[in-house]
């Protein structure tokens, strides 16, 4: 009887540990990226195991924390003003948005095409260039 309770407790704790491990604080993907033709800002993008997305400025002030939905993402309100913001998911290789938020209200500008250069956070070298053509219909059909 005691052994079975101990086994159940160990299994429960193992499951709890695995569940908490999936929402751990260490990102599974991190990259700095560079906004071209804007104010040349360098930002830090982090994707976590629970599919949350965090974008930080160089001084690590949080701008966004947002869940990824079917590879596309709408934006929640920013925590601070940003002139423009481009998001690209390196693993999907298909998203770039510009976000302008002088009054902290959502305003997604649909782009014909846009270049994003992803910079390695370790070497500072460019990892890749992406161009993606996204329309409002693409976004609406993804959500």
Chain segment 117-142, per-residue pLDDT in tens: 333 334 444 444 333 333 444 444 44
List the chain domain ranges: 26-142
Tokens encoding 97: 């948005």
pTM value? 0.26
Query: Is-contact 89 71, C-beta < 8 A?
Result: yes
Query: Is-contact 47 68, C-beta < 8 A?
Result: yes
**What's residue 59's pLDDT?**
39
Chain segment 10-62, per-residue pLDDT in tens: 666 555 444 444 444 554 444 444 333 333 344 444 544 444 445 444 434 44
Compute the average pLDDT of residues 82-109.
Answer: 39
**What is the chain's length?**
143
Bigger pLDDT: 137 or 93?
Answer: 137
* Cβ atoms < 10 Å from Cβ of 97: 22
């Amino acid at each position: 009887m005691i052994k079975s309770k101990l086994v159940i407790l160990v299994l429960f704790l193992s499951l709890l540990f695995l569940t908490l491990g999936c929402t751990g604080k260490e990102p599974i993907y991190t990259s700095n990226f560079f906004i071209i033709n804007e104010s040349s800002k360098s930002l830090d993008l982090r994707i976590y195991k629970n599919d949350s997305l965090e974008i930080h400025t160089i001084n690590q002030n949080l701008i966004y924390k947002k869940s990824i939905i079917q590879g596309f993402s709408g934006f929640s309100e920013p925590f601070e003003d940003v002139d423009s913001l481009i998001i690209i998911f390196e693993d999907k290789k298909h998203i770039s948005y510009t976000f302008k938020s002088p009054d902290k209200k959502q305003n997604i500008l649909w782009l014909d095409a846009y270049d994003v250069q992803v910079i390695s956070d370790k070497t500072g070298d460019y990892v890749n260039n992406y161009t993606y053509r996204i329309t409002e219909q693409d976004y609406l059909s993804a959500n």
